[in-house]
Chains A and B, each alone.
Chain A
Amino acid sequence: DARVTQTPRHKVTEMGQEVTMRCQPILGHNTVFWYRQTMMQGLELLAYFRNRAPLDDSGMPKDRFSAEMPDATLATLKIQPSEPRDSAVYFCASGLGTGFLVEQFFGPGTRLTVL
């Protein structure tokens, strides 16, 4: 049963520390999405990649956030330095397709708490 995996599942860190979240998309999927979910803002699309190339990261604060796909089996989302307002659940999703007709398969999320 293929599924998206995310590590770590939970992360507690102190303000100013670097945080790296990892995502393994479903094998063969060519599109990867990063979302952030908070009570106040709901689900926000941070960035997405197709065939490992970043296509849109306009939802991501550029000064502290960065997203990469070093290879087809790994996507990373990094926050440096982290701030308390970054506390949220971060979801990765992967899909197969072109354009916007992509069914997204979500990972279980990384719950980040920044103290």
Chain B
Amino acid sequence: AQSVTQLDSHVSVSEGTPVLLRCNYSSSYSPSLFWYVQHPNKGLQLLLKYTSAATLVKGINGFEAEFKKSETSFHLTKPSAHMSDAAEYFCVVSDHTGGFKTIFGAGTRLFVKA
């Protein structure tokens, strides 16, 4: 069975410092992995996706994530946080287990301090 665990419900960083949002997954098959961002009272927007090509994936707004199969992780990083990055971030795993299944993590709320 597939699952996704976001290890931190809240992360707080200062503007200009690095961001690390952690995600671990389990999947019976080679999964596709995504990160989405949700700003307050908005829908979700795709940041980046991994689909078995390069293990280091670059997304929008300076975010990137590295797929590490041995660690079953797909952590999201950004070298320097901006105030506009404050939002909720969701890690998502999709595979063909029992038909198409997509599972969202519980989300990590990122706070950025001035």
Contact = CB atoms under 8 A, between A and B. Distances in A.
A102 B46 CA distance: 11
A44 B101 CA distance: 11
Given A45-B102, A48-B100, A56-B100, A106 B44 contact: yes
B102 A55 contact: no
Contacts of B20: none
Contacts of A106: 36, 43-45
Interface residues of A, number: 23
Nearest to B99: A56
A103 interface: yes
A115 interface: no
Contacts of B96: 99-100
A100 B104 CA distance: 14
Interface residues of B, number: 23
B87 interface: no
B99 A91 contact: no
A53 interface: no
A103 B49 contact: yes
A43 B49 CA distance: 18
B100 A42 contact: no
Contact of A55 (B43, B99, B106): B99
Interface in B95-114: 95-96, 99-107
Nearest to A55: B100
B32 interface: yes
Contacts of B34: 103
Interface of A: 4, 33, 35, 42-45, 48, 55-56, 91, 93, 99-109
5 contacts: A45-B103, A55-B99, A100-B32, A100-B100, A100-B102
CB-based closest 4 A-B pairs: A106-B43, A100-B94, A43-B104, A106-B44
